[in-house]
Amino acid sequence: MHDGHHSGGMMLIRRLGNYARLTPEDEAALQQMLALPIRLAHARRDIIAEGAVPRAVFLIVSGWACQFKTLEDGRRQIVGFLLPGDSCDLNNLVLRRMDHSIGALTDVRYMEIPGGAIQRLTRDHPRIGKALWWQMLVHLSVQREWTTNLGQRNAMERLGSLLCELALRLRDVGLSNGECYDLPLTQTDLADATGLTSVHINRTLQQLRASGLISLSGRVLRIPNFAALQEASLFAPDYLHRAQLEARQSHGMAGAGAADHAER
């Protein structure tokens, strides 16, 4: 449940390796690039703000961060979560300004990978370039699913889908055993991510608890029956494009998630 031996860097390499078959040289190059100082952001502080001109890519080593956008009048939408091993979009390198902010939800340890390093890497190691493309396209797919989540699902389905997504993503980086995980979000955070109010999130959580789909006390979320929550939320995990992960480390929930959906 802690990050311990998950060095963040290792997690990145493992993940990229799932997107494209990396050679030992590729991995060594990544390894070398990741000899970077670890930076710290305190909970509830912004790592980078909308409109800023970034010069690096952020790689989360431990803790949770979120991407969010703010309307003029203060309304705030969380458009994605960054979990350990996640990196922010290459957005930073290519576009001139941030179109969203990144904020720390918990204390966050992260690395700043300078743009030049990434450009060199993709130039000299085409497989790494391909893996980055893959990752980017998965981000895009996830963002489309969030759009659908907000546009079509009701409160219970929205919240349930979000909790399912987090379960699978945390599992892929070893931060969930498949049944429960540490959820460091406040109900206000959940509200901002689902487009609901914190009051309604509270009531919806109670509803999910009452129907036995989740239990949540303190910061530990438990999903006793993943398939049940998935069905109640109309959650279809295909959009995470994690098929190849499942093939390799196939046990329990993760496989079931997609198997349920292979039938059509």
Partner DNA sequence: CGAACATTTGAAGCGCGTCAAAGCCGGTGG
Partner DNA sequence: CCACCGGCTTTGACGCGCTTCAAATGTTCG
The residues of the shown chain that bind DNA, judged by CB under 7 A, are 44, 154-156, 186-188, 195-200, 202-206, 218
- Tell me the residue length of the chain: 264
For residue 101, state whether it binds a second copy (rule: CB under 8 A). Answer: no
Location of structure tokens 């689902």: 194
Q: Which does 97 bind (CB under 5 to 8 A by kind): DNA, a second copy, none?
A: a second copy
Which window, 4-12, 139-147, 209-217, 250-258, contacts a second copy (CB under 8 A)?
139-147
Report how far apart, in Å, the C-alpha atoms of 201 and of each of 68, 193, 204, 206 are: 18, 11, 5, 9
Rounded distance, CA 241 to CA 202, Å? 31
Location of structure tokens 């993503």: 169
Yes or no: say if 246 and 254 are a contact pair by the CB < 8 Å rule: yes
Closer residue to a second copy, CB minimum distance, 35 or 72 = 72
Which residue in 6, 14, 109, 143 binds a second copy (CB under 8 A)?
Answer: 143
Closer residue to a second copy, CB minimum distance, 2 or 264 = 264
For residue 232, state whether it binds a second copy (rule: CB under 8 A). Answer: no
Pattern of binders to a second copy over 192-211, x per CB under 8 A?
--xx----------------
Which residue in 40, 49, 52, 136 binds a second copy (CB under 8 A)?
Answer: 136
Both structure tokens of 113: 């990978």
List, in order, residues 6 or more apart from 58 with CB less than 8 Å away.
47, 48, 65, 82, 87, 88, 92, 102, 110, 111, 112, 113
Rounded distance, CA 55 to CA 124, Å? 21
Yes or no: say if 84 and 63 are a contact pair by the CB < 8 Å rule: yes
State the minimum distance, in angstroms, from the CB of residue 202 to DNA: 4
Closer residue to DNA, CB minimum distance, 122 or 202 = 202
**Which residue ranges make up the site for a second copy (CB under 8 A)?**
51, 67, 69, 71-73, 75-77, 79-80, 89-91, 94-97, 99-100, 123, 126, 130, 133-134, 136-141, 143-148, 150-153, 194-195, 234, 236, 238-239, 241, 243, 264
